[in-house]
Structure 1
């Protein structure tokens, strides 16, 4: 009865219903990066009733993070983000399992996830997460935001399209960081919320967005959808047999 009350606003949707809610309860989602993207996507996944959230981030919270990482509070400054985030997510929904992990430990448990979210801010981390997802045949929802722009890619070469390394060369320079280029809080929040929605769509079987890249200009309030093609010479997904199992 408690579950029906808690999730009634989404259970009433015929596209979700009781069966869909059970699918969410039985799902595990892994989130790499609990910054602006992760602190926006994780509460919606927890609120929706995703049964287990594995959250990974090596950093401690800084005062400057609070401008956009709204999952946290001033009292959390100096704490490990994963510990502070886990406390907030458990307070939101005590029925789900929230597991804080360091990134290396998370990669070792990646096989447990139904969907992986990448909200990190370094190319080196993104390439490592992408390679692990390809090897484990796990769908990846990768997102980034800087200044007034954002992007989200749904990547699963076992279904359709390419992987992250098909879009960006592994030898590329590290990504711009928020402290250097700047970021408006609602921009990264919007992208993080959309990252959560694309994840829920996948878990519920509402759509197969594999092989798509969504870009957003906050200045012009404009979204674009592009296709991510698989590169047969990709050093990551091109070396695996990714035909559907």
Structure 2
């Protein structure tokens, strides 16, 4: 258990959390000692980064190889007009430093791949998947499962979003989606569009799940997919089970390392 001794400025900053029975000084100290890797600091990663930093998570790793574009600003709220053309991780790190100087930010201006995913993931307590493509989602699922690192997944599309969590005690992403859809079957945001506030809602839920993982409180979304429809303002929680034939967490797993998978097309194990 981290040392719960907190100075007066810390007690003042986090007073509304510390007063809660499920947090208290010990819980706030746990957050301070916690480390979360956020993969993607765009639409989903913006609120995730903002609220994890505000909550006092001590170390944030930010992974993104893109630069800020004007079209991002409608939903990627930690970036501003003056940041256009800057690496997103630099803009995000500057935002966090201004919001909460207690937080250490580690920037990774790169694309996540099989060659660096494991080393990145295993250095953090929780990973938040705020990416926007299927190869990264499957890669993070596999890397987190192999390193036993909790993973919070989120996705958005037009008016709809979804969130779930994987922590090794239940099914993984491959149990929910055995294979990636064919290339081009699911339009990206540039083609299909997305309501600007939607990533804020889903990203905030992802941040909530990550904080619960660090604190060890509440009931997580492991084994449940929360679906949100902004058009009707309704939610539905769909349970799903582990698949005995899952190549990652099933009875006879075929995936022993990231080298066993071709993260293209279906993101599946190549046939022998």
Q: TM-score range by the shorter chain?
A: over 0.9
2:141 is the counterpart of 1:130: yes
Stretches of structure 2 lacking an aligned partner (at least 5 in a row): 1-7, 256-272
Cross-structure match for 2:169:
159
Mapping of residues 44-123 of structure 1, within 5 Å:
44-101=51-108, 102=110, 103-104=112-113, 105=116, 107-123=118-134
Q: How far off its partner does 1:206 sit?
A: 1.1
CA contact (8 A) 2:28 2:56 kept: yes
CA contact (8 A) 1:146 1:188 kept: no
Stretches of structure 1 lacking an aligned partner (at least 5 in a row): none
CA contact (8 A) 1:130 1:163 kept: yes
Cross-structure match for 1:234:
246
CA contact (8 A) 2:247 2:254 kept: no
Cross-structure match for 1:211:
223
- Give the structure with the larger helix fraction: 1
Q: How far off its partner does 1:107 sit?
A: 4.1
CA contact (8 A) 2:118 2:147 kept: no
Choose which of 21, 25, 41 in structure 2 pairs with 1:18.
25
Highest CA radius of gyration, 1 or 2?
Answer: 2
Point out 4+ residue stretches in structure 1 off by more than 6 angstroms. Answer: none
Cross-structure match for 2:201:
190
CA contact (8 A) 1:46 1:89 kept: yes
Q: In the aligned structure 2, how far is the partner of 1:225 from the partner of 1:8?
A: 32
CA-based RMSD of the aligned residues comes to 1.5
Q: In the aligned structure 2, how far is the partner of 1:6 from the partner of 1:220?
A: 36
Q: How many residue pairs align between the two structures?
A: 239
CA contact (8 A) 2:44 2:200 kept: yes
